[in-house]
Amino acid sequence: MDAITVIVHFCQKILLVWLLAHASLAGAASKSAAVPTSSDWCKKLVPRLPGVKIDTCQAGALVPSGAVSAQGFPILVRHIPAARVDNAKAVRVLMIGGIHGDELTAAAIVFQWMQWMKRPIAQEFQWRIVPVLNPDGLLAPKPKRVNARGVDLNRNFPTPGWEKEAPQYWAKHTKSDPRRFPGHAPLSEPESRWVNDEIERFKPDVIISVHAPFGVLDFDGPVHPPNKFGRLVFTPVGVYPGSLGNYSGRHKNVPVITIELPNARAMPAPADVQRIWADMLTWIQKNVPRKSLNAAAPGVRTVAAP
Ligand SMILES: [Zn+2]
């Protein structure tokens, strides 16, 4: 073997070693950058969700909406087309849980209801479901009402006059309670922006927003309010600048059903969970027309969600 052949062989070996090392590094990098799955998100969420098992969370088949919370957790959504009627003609329902992170049951009950999407009435509607709108609040070391930037998302919607009314209301009526800070501008937060964008894209005929712990039912919008879902009785709870009920129900003419569960940490009895769901779907079927977004405004109530 002459000197040139030795040098060529040596160089080939160096190249081979470099290629192998590079390939194994690339493999390690791709493993560490693996795309998170529904299982990863459920592992984080489930410890905060009373009565929700990991299987129930995963069966929810949530997918990233494309939007992320202030701290980068995906806003997870489920899209379900209508199965029993023409999807294009189906009433569109946007259901939102956990807008306030310390109302644990308000996210958990949405996961439980999602197990029953194959029931006949549910299949008459087209759904967008977001069980946890405020993941940063829910996953905080101590769950908190506000998002990671300290904003009460249910005061951050662009009701007319927000710039003046929301800060004034916060200072005067809540004595600048940090749990009710409306933000520095309407839609300043990624979570409220996503809801606003989704209302524009999906054009829901009705919005369901779940809270706790007042144990009532509230309603804003252009159709007659429901009387009762399960044990929850219709009880208007007040008007708040920047709330979703005020914004959507009063100003966008998209009715908002606000469910206020009786306890933020302990789930209602299973029979009550079923009854609220069944009564709510029956009421929507009988009372919510499709395309209420374009309906006339007369008779709009002016009471907002809590
Ligand atoms: Zn709430």
pLDDT of residue 111: 98
pLDDT of residue 22: 53
- The class of domain 36-294 in CATH terms is alpha beta
Task: Give the number of other Cβ atoms within 10 Å of residue 44's Cβ.
Answer: 14
CA-to-CA separations, 162 to 159, 168, 197, 210, in angstroms, rounded: 5, 9, 18, 23
211 alpha carbon to ligand 1 midpoint, in Å?
4
136 alpha carbon to ligand 1 midpoint, in Å?
15
pLDDT of residue 16: 47
**Structure tokens belonging to residue 236:** 């208007």
Task: Give the number of other Cβ atoms within 10 Å of residue 35's Cβ.
Answer: 6
205 phi and psi angles, rounded to 5 deg: -90, -20
pLDDT of residue 271: 98
149 alpha carbon to ligand 1 midpoint, in Å?
17
Q: What are the start-end ranges of the H helices in 140-297? A: 162-173, 190-202, 244, 270-287
pLDDT of residue 40: 92
Name, in order, each residue with C-beta under 8 angstroms of 172's C-beta and a sequence gap of 6 or more. none
Domain ranges within the chain, ordered by starting residue: 1-34, 36-294
36 alpha carbon to ligand 1 midpoint, in Å?
29
116 alpha carbon to ligand 1 midpoint, in Å?
24
pLDDT of residue 1: 52
Per-residue pLDDT 10s for the chain (306 aa) are 555 555 556 546 654 455 445 544 444 444 456 777 888 999 999 999 999 999 999 999 999 999 999 999 999 999 999 998 999 999 999 999 999 999 999 999 999 999 999 999 999 999 999 999 999 999 999 999 999 999 999 999 999 999 999 999 999 999 999 999 999 999 999 999 999 999 999 999 999 999 999 999 999 998 899 999 999 999 998 879 999 999 999 999 999 999 999 999 999 999 999 999 999 999 999 999 987 544 444 433 434 444
| Residue carrying the six token digits 């073997």 | 1
pLDDT of residue 263: 98
Residues with CB under 5 A from ligand 1 (ion): 100, 103, 211
Whole-number Å distance between alpha carbons of 169 and 181 = 10
Give residue-wise pLDDT tens across range 187-208: 999 999 999 999 999 999 999 9
First to last CA, the chain: 87
306 alpha carbon to ligand 1 midpoint, in Å?
6
Whole-number Å distance between alpha carbons of 215 and 259 = 8
What type of residue sits at position 15?
Answer: L
pLDDT of residue 14: 55
154 alpha carbon to ligand 1 midpoint, in Å?
8
**What distance lies between CA 240 and its chain's CA centroid?**
20
Task: Give the number of other Cβ atoms within 10 Å of residue 176's Cβ.
Answer: 11
